[in-house]
Structure 1
């Protein structure tokens, strides 16, 4: 039996039309590339040895890998300063703007909720003023809570396989798109399951979504 959802989505008011749920980091906003610049400025570097940050971020002073708590500290410091570092992916603003004429859009970001305000300001400044949910909980139950039992198309876009698998398990009719940049860390990421569509940029993802929501 599923654990009860400890995340409130009742404040999100959807219209009677399709729903597009998007991750944010490396789907709407660049994350990994600016994060590398950020940790370099903090005196560290990333060694592409495996698909993990812990164990692969080292101090440039002595070459020692940072402990997990220090990696988490760096990530939180980056999220605190995200407005100075993160920029939108190519074509995302125009693409989502076009879709918003016929579909509801909700951002579901895997980020500590205490940095919601910083991300909200950044997205608004970029013309991406869609509802934003920030949670470290599994995404499948959250998308199911959003979409409910509506007989309308729903699509989910994320760069990480485990999030796509979670949504696929909880919302079986959802279109799943694995949109990820060609970065050193994404090349080492676990592959998404068969049946999940792949895209490297929004120009590839857009026609897949369009075909699904107008069926």
Structure 2
């Protein structure tokens, strides 16, 4: 349980580091959340890149208040093992990369749902260390990688998290990955950061980054 918040307990080898977000990068979030909402009698009508203000009652079309949206999100995280599923090629890609690099999951999720996510990732064959934190990811990434003179890679779907890591660990390779969802179409785009189209593309970019420079 020490991996929930404190990255100092993640033991890294003397090799490159790949740090990866989970929701809508490793596991689908928006698509199964929409299915979950419909089961609860609600629907997501993307009009901006946020959930509050865009979830309505199917019956009345009334917009749900923030407290109700938060309750639905927390219920979804409680039940995530029944709803979330992996992106194509993510399992084989990360397991292949783990032969040459340490892989760590850094998920922006309330830490109380760490065990639920841990069970789901393990069941999928993604038994890499998992850190759950609601703080910006740049400082976490910095504490994790420190001053090690080794390549580091950070993958996320959120522009602000990519920018946070760039501010705290500018030598990292930053990769922007996100699904083709109606909500993500409205998302802010990270400035000057490479977009990985899918996991095979991400693997190519990562292997190029970690390859010995004199090879």
TM over 0.5: yes
Does residue 204 of structure 1 match 2:197?
no
Equivalent residue for 1:150, pick from 134, 144, 148: 148
1:105-144 matched pairs, under 5 angstroms: 105-144=103-142
Q: How far apart, CA to CA, are the structure 2 residues paired with 1:200 and 1:180?
A: 8
2:69 is paired with a residue of what secondary structure? helix
Q: Secondary structure at the match of 1:10?
A: helix
Give the whole-Å Cα distance in 2 for the aligned partners of 1:69 and 1:193. Answer: 32
Deviations 1:6-59 (A, max 9, x none): x52111000000000000001100110000000000000011211111000001
Distance 2:141 2:24 in 1: 19
Which residue of 2 is the match for residue 68 of structure 1? 66
Q: Is the 8 A contact 1:182 1:200 kept in 2?
A: no
Separation in 1, partners of 2:171, 2:68? 40
Structure 1 position 206, deviation (Å) = 1.0
Equivalent residue for 1:4?
none
How do 1:20-169 residues align onto structure 2 when only pairs under 5 Å count? 20-169=18-167
Deviation at 1:60, TM superposition (A): 1.0
Q: Conserved in 1, the CA contact under 8 Å of 2:6 and 2:131? A: no
Question: Residue in 2 aligned with 1:3?
Answer: none
Deviates more, 1:125-134 or 1:57-66: 57-66
Cα separation, 2, equivalents of 1:86 and 1:31 = 6
Once the two structures are TM-superposed, the CA of residue 200 in structure 1 deviates from its matched residue by 2.6
The whole-number CA distance in structure 2 between the counterparts of 1:70 and 1:152 is 45
Q: Distance in 1 between matches of 2:50 and 2:8?
A: 34
After the TM superposition, which segments of 4 or more aligned residues of structure 1 sit over 6 Å from their partners?
none
* Structure 2, gaps ≥5 residues long: none
CA distance in 2, matches of 1:136, 1:91: 27
Relative to the length of structure 2, the TM-score reads 0.95
- What value does the CA root-mean-square deviation take over the aligned residues? 0.7
